[in-house]
């Protein structure tokens, strides 16, 4: 039997943990109930709940969702008293419409008293490692200093990719030969899968991969979720450890790709993505990569919504691309390969009309 003293002691310990967690959590006040504000609330409550205490100021411009209702601290007209009561360490401005509505005097007073005041787009970027593309404006992208990359930096990154890829091809030649033999023994068909992708400056390139599927007998979707029954036994393991991507080292040596960059998308989906995903054309201003920020943070995409999510990561990479970020992505990629992590299995969204997207009788091409 557990004694009363033990129960009381356990209660005191749990209470102390809760109090300490509350005391050291960063207090963030989100001003606004715009879609961006809701994204920030969702991100914090889902992934960072232990690190933050958050409250929301209602701007009266949109209906509140249940998550914001629970965190509602009051209306925008009472911002000064809300700041005084909540005592935030950071105020995030995420108004849908701020024309003549932003209480500048109250924000200035808070700033002078040591509270950090930050734009919602910038805060979301630091918090998530991706850009809130729906909330971005062309002027903010044009004025951003982070998008300006010198030709020397770009040339150095490409030269390093060429050297590393050439060395990797030599070192991995025996492994690639064994994979090719296993593919031929496991199922009929070619060793390689060759697919048209979009590369630098929207030029087409012939992407090389080890074949991981049985050839299709007719037109089929290019999304992974629709083709699981075609994956071969060897293909399942190649995909799990990302070994099917190794032939793309040849694409890098050809100068068509870098080791790190946005993944080259299928040419058949280019028009659809360009029409539906904001700033999609910016992916083509840099060379595509064998691996990328979106790959290590999300994985495969299974629909337009997930492709849009990957674009948020790709745009973050393009904005912040550097040798250090590339090294971090390579390290994360190696870790993923060693763990044999499966592709992300997200809940299947409602299927939109893909009639605008040509279908393919070949292997899926969304990685």
pLDDT tens-digit map of 248-286 = 999 999 999 999 999 999 998 899 999 999 999 999 999
Q: Read off the pLDDT of each residue in 22-27 and give the average, rounded to a whole number.
A: 72
Do 161 and 67 fall within a single domain? no
**Spatial distance between the Cα atoms of 131 and 6, rounded to a whole number of angstroms:** 49
Do 105 and 188 fall within a single domain? no
Do 119 and 242 fall within a single domain? no
CATH number of the domain to which 61 belongs: 3.40.50.20
pLDDT in tens, 129-179: 999 998 888 888 887 878 877 787 788 889 999 999 999 999 999 999 999
Q: Is the pLDDT of residue 50 over 60?
A: yes
**Spatial distance between the Cα atoms of 112 and 89, rounded to a whole number of angstroms:** 12
Which of 128, 161, 190 is at the close of a domain? 128
**Spatial distance between the Cα atoms of 134 and 156, rounded to a whole number of angstroms:** 32
Range of the domain at 43: 20-128
Q: What is the 3-state secondary structure (H, E, C) of 49-92?
A: CCCEEEEEEECCCCCCCHHHHHHEEEEHHHHHHHHHHHCCCEEE
Q: Is residue 191 part of a domain?
A: yes
Q: Is residue 56 part of a domain?
A: yes
Do 120 and 219 fall within a single domain? no
Q: What is the dihedral of CA 101, 106, 110, 111, to 10 degrees?
A: 60
| pLDDT recorded at residue 351 | 37
Do 158 and 74 fall within a single domain? no
Q: Is residue 348 part of a domain?
A: no
pLDDT in tens, 67-115: 677 889 999 999 999 999 999 999 999 998 877 778 899 999 999 999 9
pLDDT in tens, 281-334: 999 999 999 999 999 998 778 788 999 999 999 999 999 998 889 999 999 998
Q: Is residue 362 part of a domain?
A: no
| pLDDT recorded at residue 153 | 78
CA dist 124 → 44, 121, 293, 308, 311 (Å): 10, 5, 16, 16, 15
Q: Is residue 138 part of a domain?
A: no
Q: Is residue 217 part of a domain?
A: yes
Name the β-bridge partners of 183: none
Do 197 and 295 fall within a single domain? yes
DSSP reduced 3-state for 309: helix
Q: What angle do CA 58, 62, 68 make, to 5 degrees?
A: 50
Q: Which of 328, 325, 323, 301 is closest to 312 using CA atoms?
A: 301
Q: Is the pLDDT of residue 342 over 60?
A: no
Do 184 and 296 fall within a single domain? yes
Stronger pLDDT, 2 or 319, i.e. the higher one: 319
Q: Is the pLDDT of residue 8 over 70?
A: no
| pLDDT recorded at residue 64 | 67
Do 120 and 159 fall within a single domain? no
Do 75 and 179 fall within a single domain? no
Do 256 and 310 fall within a single domain? yes
Query: What domain count does the chain have?
Result: 2
Do 158 and 97 fall within a single domain? no
Q: Is residue 273 part of a domain?
A: yes
Q: Read off the pLDDT of each residue in 35-55 and give the average, rounded to a whole number.
A: 90
Do 216 and 167 fall within a single domain? yes
Q: Is residue 32 part of a domain?
A: yes
- What's the pTM value of the predicted model, to 2 decimals? 0.80
């Amino acid at each position: 039997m557990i004694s009363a003293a033990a129960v009381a002691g356990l209660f005191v310990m749990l209470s102390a943990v809760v109090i300490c967690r509350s005391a050291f959590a960063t207090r963030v006040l989100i001003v606004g109930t715009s879609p961006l504000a809701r994204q920030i609330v969702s991100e914090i409550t889902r992934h960072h709940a232990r690190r933050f205490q958050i409250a929301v100021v209602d701007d009266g411009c949109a209906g509140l969702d249940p998550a914001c209702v629970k965190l509602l601290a009051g209306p925008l007209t009472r911002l000064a008293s809300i700041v005084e009561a909540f005592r935030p360490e950071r105020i995030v401005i995420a108004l849908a419409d701020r024309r003549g509505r932003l209480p500048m005097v109250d924000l200035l007073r808070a700033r002078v008293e040591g509270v950090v005041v930050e734009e919602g787009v910038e805060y979301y970027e630091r918090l998530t490692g991706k850009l809130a593309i729906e909330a971005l404006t062309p002027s903010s992208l044009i004025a951003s200093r982070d998008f300006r990359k010198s030709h020397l930096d770009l040339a150095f990154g490409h030269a390093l990719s060429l050297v590393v890829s050439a060395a990797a091809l030599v070192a991995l030649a025996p492994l690639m030969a064994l994979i090719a033999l296993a593919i031929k023994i496991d199922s009929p068909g070619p060793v390689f899968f060759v697919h048209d992708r979009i590369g630098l400056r929207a030029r087409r390139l012939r992407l090389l991969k080890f074949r991981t599927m049985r050839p299709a007998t007719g037109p089929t979707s290019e999304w992974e979720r629709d083709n699981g029954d075609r994956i071969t036994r060897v293909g399942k393991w190649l995909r799990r450890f990302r070994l099917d991507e190794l032939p793309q080292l040849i694409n890098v040596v050809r100068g068509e790709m870098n080791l790190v960059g946005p993944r080259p998308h299928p040419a058949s989906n280019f028009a659809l993505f360009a029409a539906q995903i904001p700033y999609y054309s910016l992916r083509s201003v840099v060379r595509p990569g064998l691996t990328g920020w979106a790959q290590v943070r999300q994985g495969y995409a299974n629909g337009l919504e997930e492709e849009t999510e990957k674009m948020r990561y790709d745009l973050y990479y393009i904005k912040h691309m550097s040798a250090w970020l590339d090294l971090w992505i390579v390290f994360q990629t190696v870790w993923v390969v060693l763990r044999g992590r499966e592709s992300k299995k997200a809940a299947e969204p409602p299927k939109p009309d893909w009639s605008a997207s040509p279908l393919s009788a070949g292997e899926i091409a969304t990685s």
